[in-house]
Amino acid sequence: MTTTDPASQTGYRDHPPRMGFFTDTSVCIGCKACEVACKEWNAVPEDGIALTGMSYDNTVGLGADTWRHVAFIEQRKPIAQQDAGLHHDTDVLAMAADEPSTDFRWLMSSDVCKHCTEAACLDVCPTGSLFRTEFGTVVVQEDICNGCGYCIPACPYGVIDQREGDGRAWKCTLCYDRLGQGQEPACAKACPTDSIQFGPLDELRERAQHRVEQLQDAGVSDARLYGESPEDGVGGDGAFFLLLDEPEVYGLPPDPKVTTRDLPAMWRHVGTAAVTLVGGALAAFAATAFGRRK
């Protein structure tokens, strides 16, 4: 078992393959169907009706009441030649004049909970409300969550959040209820351009690798994967992305680390200190006792 099989590590036997999302932002058209489908299926409340002025992004970020969030980034860069290049017999663009057409582009990207291989939210949850599913995803059980909020600062991506007036923590479940019925998550189902792809994580990683190579071969040198590597600070994401710029541009941390990674070492230090303290106390006590006998 590799570290990318958290379900086995959790103790599941004969479990289905680890499922996840590959969000290919190079074909996202910013329609926000994912946001609406997510809210409809999961009955997530409205998250405030207010204009932000951040391009067409009025959702701002993931939170208790937003489990999919489409970012819109306006840039002074040429339109990406977002081209899958499946079978090009003729490149008519090359045949035409090579005048640069525009130097403006509009990036769109649908963000979601990453369902980390090493999930800090799950590590710190004292009630067992957050759990690892047989699909390797991370889910909050709203009937167990006691609203302690430990998971919130633990998330390196700032995904999980407490709902106002409710106090409990909420986030994407990767539509755990739909997965159990053999259905894909609502957002992936609603996505018209297959920007959100759902499937076994191993397959998605392979597909994504192929896709990023295609794009780079087609001259989109900015294309890169984010969160796909089991070597990264969270052991790889169950929901990873193809981006066309630095992660920070999309509001994603460039080098996320599981916040509980250092906990064992910290506890070891705490333990040593405690032993020392206890030892000192005992010594003092012993000395006193001996002293009394005197």
Give every CB contact of residue 56 below 8 A, 6+ residues apart in sequence.
30, 72
Minimum distance of other proteins from residue 173's CB (angstroms): 18
Instruction: Kindly tell me which residue out of 2, 3, 93, 127 binds other proteins, with binding defined by CB under 8 A.
Output: 93
Looking at 51-184, which runs of residues are DSSP E strands?
68-75, 105-112, 130-132, 138-140, 161-162, 169-170
CB 65 within 8 A of CB 165: no
Instruction: Kindly tell me which residue out of 11, 14, 95, 294 binds other proteins, with binding defined by CB under 8 A.
Output: 95
- Please, which residue, 108 or 204, has the CB nearer to other proteins? 108
Residue 271 C-alpha from the chain's centroid:
33
Q: Which stretch binds other proteins (CB under 8 A): 84-92, 124-132, 225-233, 282-290?
A: 84-92
Q: Which stretch binds other proteins (CB under 8 A): 72-80, 114-122, 165-173, 247-255?
A: 72-80
Q: Quick check: 33 binds other proteins (CB under 8 A)? A: yes
- Please, which residue, 96 or 265, has the CB nearer to other proteins? 96
Instruction: Kindly tell me which residue out of 13, 76, 293, 294 binds other proteins, with binding defined by CB under 8 A.
Output: 76
Q: Quick check: 43 binds other proteins (CB under 8 A)? A: no
- Please, which residue, 1 or 49, has the CB nearer to other proteins? 49
By C-alpha distance, which of 100, 118, 63, 82 is closest to 251? 63
- Please, which residue, 106 or 285, has the CB nearer to other proteins? 106
Instruction: Kindly tell me which residue out of 194, 206, 246, 262 binds other proteins, with binding defined by CB under 8 A.
Output: 194
Q: Quick check: 192 binds other proteins (CB under 8 A)? A: yes
Instruction: Kindly tell me which residue out of 2, 3, 81, 216 binds other proteins, with binding defined by CB under 8 A.
Output: 81
Residue 180 C-alpha from the chain's centroid:
21
In the chain, count H helices and then E strands.
9, 10
Give the 3-state secondary structure percentages of the chain, helix then strand then coil, rounded to 5. 30, 15, 50
Q: Quick check: 217 binds other proteins (CB under 8 A)? A: no
Could you give the residue ranges of the DSSP H alpha helices within the chain? 6-10, 33-42, 92-95, 120-124, 151-154, 176-179, 186-190, 201-217, 263-293
Distance separating alpha carbons of residues 6 and 119, to the nearest angstrom: 10
CA distances from 208 to 95, 212, 269 (A): 30, 6, 41
If you compute the radius of gyration of the chain from its CA atoms, what whole number of angstroms results? 24
**For the window 102-141, what string marks contact with other proteins as x by the rule CB under 8 A?**
x-xxxxx---------------------------------
DSSP symbol at 268: H
Minimum distance of other proteins from residue 244's CB (angstroms): 11
Q: Which stretch binds other proteins (CB under 8 A): 71-79, 162-170, 171-179, 247-255?
A: 71-79
Q: Quick check: 183 binds other proteins (CB under 8 A)? A: no
Residues that bind other proteins (CB under 8 A): 27, 29-33, 35-36, 39-40, 45-51, 53, 55-56, 58-59, 74, 76, 79, 81-93, 95-97, 99, 101-102, 104-108, 192-194
